Amino acid sequence: EKQGKYTPGTYLEIKDPKALVKEKSTHALLLAWNFASEIIRQQGIFISHGGKFILPLPEVKIVS
């Protein structure tokens, strides 16, 4: 439901997860930190292509 919409205040677009590989993204901001392990597990292809997730909460870290 959220894909194609924007985050409040920052207007960052919420994209389909497949866009990470399709657009050859190198980093993705993952704001749903409480679901991070599940999302990262689902995005194995993105990570295997060198992609990294930026997790801002509870403290900033980069996961690859």
C-beta separation of 40 from 63 below 8 A: yes
pLDDT band, very low/low/confident/very high, at 54 (cuts 50, 70, 90):
very high
**Mean pLDDT, the chain, integer:** 91
pTM > 0.85: no
- The per-residue pLDDT for range 9-40, each reduced to its tens digit, is 988 899 888 888 999 989 999 988 899 999 99
> DSSP label at 58?
S
Q: What share of the chain is helix, strand, coil (3-state, %, to 5)?
A: 30, 20, 50
